[in-house]
């Protein structure tokens, strides 16, 4: 039975709760960051799932699933990942787990201009050293940009260029619809406006 806040009547409900977390719940309880009574209510049956970094063999399968989903949502027909792009996905440290992989591929589909996802389409939030080296050594004549010492471009400028290209493509794909554009980019509308102002973009 539950009672709404401020309510006086008890309501009978029949529900099954499936909850996920990436933190140590017992540690959170011991630190007073999570209610112990709620923890025991939820902890009836526990499944421990290894992180994506501990099961890299699943990455190609998950990447293909997310590619198909993004194709459908964005009305595109990207066929697959290049061998270099797949290598980058496998070498990257996924601190954001499966959700980060999904968002990375969604952005890549949005940026892709050929039938295949290439390394230049993959924008990770935090590239580890090995992944950055792989990206740096990738020679693709159809690159949107190249990271090279000869260009003498700062990291911040590269990131701003990538963001500008990504947001511009999302605006075009969404036909100028602000809400749809923000949804495509997995950000709220306020953040979209702030980014557009910083990058001198307009709808």
Query: Each residue of 44-61: pLDDT tens digit?
Result: 888 888 889 999 999 999
pLDDT of 154 reads 64
The C-alpha atoms of residue 171 and residue 179 are separated, in whole angstroms, by 10
CATH assignment of the domain containing 180: 1.10.10
* Alpha helix ranges (H) inside the chain: 25-30, 36-42, 59-74, 83-91, 97-111, 129-136, 155-173, 178-184, 189-198
Please indicate, yes or no, whether residues 161 and 148 belong to a single structural domain of this protein: no
CB atoms closer than 10 angstroms to residue 134: 19
Please indicate, yes or no, whether residues 39 and 99 belong to a single structural domain of this protein: no
Q: Are 79 and 117 in contact (CB under 8 A)?
A: no
Instruction: Flag residues of the chain having pLDDT under 70.
Output: 125-155, 203
Please indicate, yes or no, whether residues 66 and 102 belong to a single structural domain of this protein: yes
Q: Are 26 and 36 in contact (CB under 8 A)?
A: no
pLDDT of 125 reads 55
* Alpha helix ranges (H) inside 95-202: 97-111, 129-136, 155-173, 178-184, 189-198
**Tokens read off for 99:** 């959700």
pLDDT of 153 reads 56
pLDDT of 203 reads 66
The domain of 61 spans 51-152
Classify residue 11 by its DSSP letter: B
Please indicate, yes or no, whether residues 172 and 116 belong to a single structural domain of this protein: no
Please indicate, yes or no, whether residues 86 and 174 belong to a single structural domain of this protein: no
In whole angstroms, how far apart are CA 104 and each of 4, 55, 93, 141, 186? 39, 18, 13, 22, 10
Per the DSSP assignment, residues forming a β-bridge with 81 are 117
What is the tally of structural domains in the chain? 3
Please indicate, yes or no, whether residues 196 and 144 belong to a single structural domain of this protein: no
Angle value at C-alpha 96, between 92 and 100, nearest 5 degrees: 75
CB atoms closer than 10 angstroms to residue 168: 14
Overall pTM > 0.85: no
Please indicate, yes or no, whether residues 135 and 169 belong to a single structural domain of this protein: no
Please indicate, yes or no, whether residues 165 and 194 belong to a single structural domain of this protein: yes
Please indicate, yes or no, whether residues 101 and 115 belong to a single structural domain of this protein: yes
Last residue of a domain, one of 28, 48, 68: 48
pLDDT of 139 reads 40
């Amino acid at each position: 039975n539950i009672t709404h806040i401020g309510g006086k009547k008890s309501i009978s409900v029949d529900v099954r709760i499936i909850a996920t977390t990436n933190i140590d719940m017992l540690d959170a309880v011991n630190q007073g960051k999570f209610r112990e009574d709620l923890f025991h209510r939820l902890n009836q049956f526990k499944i421990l799932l290894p992180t994506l970094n501990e099961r890299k063999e699943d990455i190609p399968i998950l990447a293909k699933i997310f590619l198909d989903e993004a194709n459908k949502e964005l009305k595109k027909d990207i066929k697959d990942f290049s061998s270099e792009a797949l290598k980058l996905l496998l070498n990257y440290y996924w601190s954001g787990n499966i959700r980060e992989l999904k968002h990375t591929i969604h952005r890549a589909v949005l940026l892709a201009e050929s039938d295949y996802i290439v390394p230049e389409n993959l924008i990770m939030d935090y590239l580890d050293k090995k992944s950055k080296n792989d990206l740096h050594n990738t020679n693709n004549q159809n690159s949107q940009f190249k990271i090279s010492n000869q260009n003498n471009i700062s990291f911040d400028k590269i990131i701003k260029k990538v963001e500008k290209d990504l947001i511009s493509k999302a605006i075009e794909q969404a036909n100028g619809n602000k809400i749809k554009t923000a949804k495509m980019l997995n950000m709220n509308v306020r953040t979209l406006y702030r980014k557009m102002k910083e990058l001198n973009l307009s709808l």
